[in-house]
A and B are shown apart, each in its own frame.
Chain A
């Protein structure tokens, strides 16, 4: 990427520079990681096209190189190439009404004209692995890639959480069996599972989640010690990087850097006036918009990517000696997994913990998952905490749908209203 940026004519890189040094390193590592897959393919390893929310510990334990559709799709949008790749996906038959992230990814896989970065990161996959967690796109868009490259497909079927906090054994057993099925599927293509290595991966997963919980507590400090964009990159790391000692090291450093800031009372703005929660997919094609409210002294202190990444897995549910059951249990119990009560509990708790003043809830028109829950979350937060929310349309993935001026106007209006309200109180 550093050798040949996809848009040489751009005056400014579309990839923002993080504020925290460790996050800048994480960002670079994520980009480098994407470049490693073609090398593994050249070594003769079958490559999997899959979703970032698959329990990746299994891939890491078996040494499976994976291309993650949301990462490729996300970078299409971040590089502001979504019009081209969405159109490529649409030319292959995907309607404009389905998820823009997935259209971007399918555009990379099924289009014929890839830009330099994607030529360096994409290889024709040999296998496809989907999942129904948390939404239908995760198991559906990949079928187009499977069809294009005639790949065998395995789908991990995780039950919806219709039980609440207590997940019953039969659901955990089924989820675990689905993951064992994934192992058997991969073994059919020459991979072998080393159970000790898997247990080690799961132990690392638990460690990362424990660190994420510590970081979450630090991030909730007033004033906020972490910019919104940094937060996105950091919380993407467990999905985009191998779960290894390096990743643990990143998070230990992040924890320490944040702890230092919190101890010094250093915030991301000089005089923090408002704290916002962000629900919905952030604008990938205009990522710095997450930092935009700072001009009003407002900080987006927590955003939904943390919730979607699955790395809100409860470390207490993870037992490395029962790796399959642990991974299944933690994912079924994740607040990203329907039904909605755990999601509501997560956001209400976040609103309180982060001492938020308001909630920005954005609707990505092509999302079949989040828009149907935003009203319930808004009402629950209002009922439980009294916090107001604003809900507005924002597809920041397909740039053809994106209107920066209107988005800033929505944010200005909401923030100014909150400031006026705060002034009255």
Chain B
């Protein structure tokens, strides 16, 4: 649809989403330090509170190259793409890299990074793989403190209580604004496309938070003036690990599907729940970790399914697209269970396997055409 291209507030976010490296380079040029991170289980508040720029590591749709010599070709294409970029020096400007304790491959990415990539060291934020888990409180807080200390050693200042509280305020404002923007999609009218929605979140995650919040606030005002168009096609929710490119979302909408929500680490899971208030910021981060929407790497499965059903109700979803990045084992295991559960509730659901390098999009188009046609019969 491209309805927002004329808005400066949107373009700031889109440009950051499309070129995150430029944002990090600009920050470095101003003398700042940058911490790359992968996975939402790494709290960006810890990075912000140390005065560094949180830089989410997004991939590119390039075919995998030299990383195949390190990972074997049957492992996650996103991880191999990130490692390719690291081998090519694309992350040479990073001062630190943080990975979440999520899947087997991200853990190995930590090892391989420290083994073969010169420059910034990689740190595993070793939080639990199980949430809704009161027993994990002390362990989680201790690991968050250790991670804060590791960041502090690179930043030159360890995040203190006041800085952490400020960081939480900043990120909660980002979350509030994003949620307000995305809740506009719950209605019948459509103000922006799914591809634009992804750009908005990715841009907000890449930009320095004050800039992101300013752009989001302006965008929210601008959206009130955007003439909505009547939504056509079935209301679709897309669920999966993460999308760092708009190709799949564009494909669904080109084929007549109306994407109203994305349960992704690069979309609603990033911002839907704020960090709750607590006297101790580490306690607040723990509570957020323990209750936030999660990906298929974490247990219990019902936590994720509950979030999915919350979104289905909130956005009046009529059909679900479960997409799996090729060789992403956590989601490969989970998708058939979700498909069965959703279909049992009368929600048509399709499972798609997507190459991170966009391979096979033509075949996906055919499947999506058939799916949308079936929905509109």
Q: Looking at A98, A137, A157, which has the most chain B CB atoms within 10 Å of its CB?
A: A157
Q: Are B110 and A136 in contact (CB under 8 A)?
A: no
Asked if residues A178 and B135 are in contact (CB atoms below 8 Å), the reply is yes
CA distance A162 to B300 in the complex (A): 23
Q: Is the CB of A141 within 8 A of B139?
A: no
Candidates A157, A339, A340, A363; contact of B129 at CB < 8 Å? A157
A140 adjacent to B333 (CB under 8 Å): yes
B82 nearest CB across to chain A (Å):
13
The answer on a CB contact under 8 Å between B101 and A160 is: yes
User: Complex Cα distance A98/B329, Å?
Assistant: 6
A170 touches B299 (CB 8 A): no
Residues of B within 8 A of A363 (CB): 72, 74
Q: By CB atoms of chain A within 10 A, which of B103, B327, B334, B353 has the most?
A: B327
Closest to A90 in B: B336
Q: What is the minimal beta-carbon distance from B74 to any residue of chain A, in angstroms?
A: 5
Most buried by A among B75, B329, B351: B329
- Cα A181 to Cα B112 with chains together (Å): 34
A94, B130: Cα distance in complex, Å? 23
B128 to A, closest residue via Cβ:
A157
CA distance A139 to B330 in the complex (A): 10
Q: Which residues of A contact B299 (CB under 8 A)?
A: 130, 132, 139, 155, 157
A339, A363, A367, most chain B CB atoms within 10 A? A339
- Once the chains are docked, how many angstroms separate the CA of A339 from the CA of B337? 29
Taking the complex as formed, is A113 at the interface, i.e. its CB lies under 8 A from any CB of chain B? no
Closest to A374 in B: B72
Partner of B74, one of A97, A130, A143, A375: A97
**Which residue of A94, A159, A160, A170 is within 8 Å of B138 (Cβ)?**
A170
Q: Restricting to B73-110, which residues have a CB under 8 Å from any CB of A?
A: 74-76, 79, 101, 103-105, 107-110
Residues of A close to B70: CB separation below 8 A: 372, 375-376
Q: How far is the CA of A140 from the CA of B110 in the complex (A)?
A: 22
Chain A interface residue count, Cβ-Cβ cutoff 8 angstroms: 49
A173 close to B139 (CB less than 8 A): yes
Q: How far is the CB of B30 from chain A (nearest CB, A)?
A: 32
- Mark out the residues of chain A between 70 and 108 whose CB falls within 8 Å of any chain B CB in the assembled complex: 92-95, 97-99
Chain B residues, Cβ within 8 Å of A174: 128, 135-136, 138-139
Please indicate the chain B residues that have their CB under 8 angstroms from the CB of A373 in the complex: 108, 111
Note all chain A residues with C-beta closer than 8 A to B336.
92-94, 144
B111 to A98, Cβ gap below 8 A?
A: no
Q: Is A369's CB within 8 Å of the partner chain B?
A: yes
B135-A144 in contact (CB<8A)? no
Supposing A170-B138, A339-B124 touch, asked if A140 and B335 sit within 8 A by C-beta, the answer is no
* Assembled-state Cα–Cα distance A130/B336 (Å): 18
B139 near A171: Cβ-Cβ < 8 Å = yes
A155 touches B337 (CB 8 A): no
Residue of B101, B115, B135, B327 near A97 (CB, 8 A) is B327
A136 near B69: Cβ-Cβ < 8 Å: no
Given the known inter-chain contacts A95-B332, A339-B124, A372-B72, please indicate yes or no for A143 contacting B135, CB distance below 8 A: no
CB of A366 closer than 8 Å to a CB of B: yes
Whether B284 sits at the interface, judged by CB under 8 Å, is no
A367 to B104, CA, bound (A): 10
CB proximity of B103 to chain A, nearest CB, Å? 6
- Point out which of B103, B107, B133, B324 has the most chain A C-beta atoms below 10 A from its C-beta: B107
* Distance, CA A217 to CA B76, complexed state (A): 38
Interface contact B129-A132, CB-CB below 8 Å: yes
Residues of the B chain whose Cβ atoms lie less than 8 Å from the Cβ of A141: 333
Whether the pair B333, A143 counts as a contact (CB closer than 8 A) is: yes
Which residues of A in the span 361-412 have a Cβ within 8 Å of any Cβ on B? 363, 365-369, 371-376, 379
Q: Is the CB of A372 within 8 A of B333?
A: no
A375 to B111, CA, bound (A): 11
A93, B340: Cβ atoms under 8 Å? Answer: yes
Task: Give the chain B neighbours of A92 by CB distance below 8 A.
Answer: 336
Q: Are B103 and A368 in contact (CB under 8 A)?
A: yes
Given A132-B129, A159-B139, A368-B327, verify A94-B105 contact (CB < 8 Å): no
Asked if B105 contacts A368 (CB within 8 A), the reply is yes
Residues of A within 8 A of B129 (CB): 132, 139, 157
Is A52 an interface residue, CB under 8 A from the partner?
Answer: no
Q: State whether A372 and B332 are in contact (beta carbons under 8 Å apart), knowing that A93-B340, A363-B74 are contacts in the complex.
A: no
A135 at interface (Cβ–Cβ under 8 A)?
A: yes
Q: Which of B74, B111, B142, B333 is the one whose CB lies under 8 Å from A371?
A: B74
For residue A147, CB closer than 8 A to chain B, the reply is yes
A177: interface (CB < 8 Å) = yes
Bound: A267/B335 CA distance, A: 50
- Beta-carbon contacts of B328-357 to A below 8 Å, as 1s and 0s? 011011111101100000000001010000
> Which residues of B have CB within 8 Å of A338?
104, 107-108, 111
Assuming the A-B contacts A95-B353, A371-B75, are A340 and B332 also in contact, with contact meaning beta carbons closer than 8 angstroms in the complex? Answer: no
Is B223 positioned at the interface, with any CB of A under 8 Å from its CB? Answer: no
Does B326 lie within 8 Å of A97, measured CB to CB?
A: yes
Taking the closest CB of chain A, its distance from the CB of B299, in whole angstroms, is 5
Most buried by B among A99, A135, A375: A375
Q: Looking at the complex, which one of A94, A372, A374, A375 makes contact with B104 (CB distance below 8 Å)?
A: A372
CB-based contact A376/B74 at 8 Å? no
CA distance A278 to B360 in the complex (A): 36
Contacts of B142 in A (CB 8 A): 168, 170
Contact status of A155 and B327, CB under 8 A, knowing A338-B104, A363-B74, A373-B108? no
* 21 A-B interface contacts by CB (under 8 A): A93-B340, A94-B332, A135-B104, A137-B333, A140-B329, A140-B330, A153-B301, A160-B124, A160-B126, A162-B126, A177-B135, A341-B111, A363-B72, A368-B103, A372-B71, A372-B108, A373-B108, A374-B72, A375-B71, A376-B111, A376-B115
Which positions in A face B, CB cutoff 8 Å?
A: 92-95, 97-99, 130, 132, 135-137, 139-141, 143-144, 147, 153, 155, 157, 159-160, 162, 168, 170-171, 173-174, 177-178, 181, 338-341, 363, 365-369, 371-376, 379
Closest 9 CB pairs of A and B: A93-B336, A371-B72, A174-B139, A372-B108, A140-B333, A157-B130, A340-B111, A368-B329, A170-B142
Q: A93-B339, A369-B104 are in contact. List 7 more A-B contacts (CB 8 A).
A: A132-B129, A160-B101, A170-B143, A338-B108, A368-B75, A368-B329, A372-B75
Q: Which residues of B contact A (CB under 8 A)?
A: 69-72, 74-76, 79, 101, 103-105, 107-112, 115, 124, 126, 128-130, 133, 135-136, 138-139, 142-143, 297, 299-301, 324, 326-327, 329-330, 332-337, 339-340, 351, 353
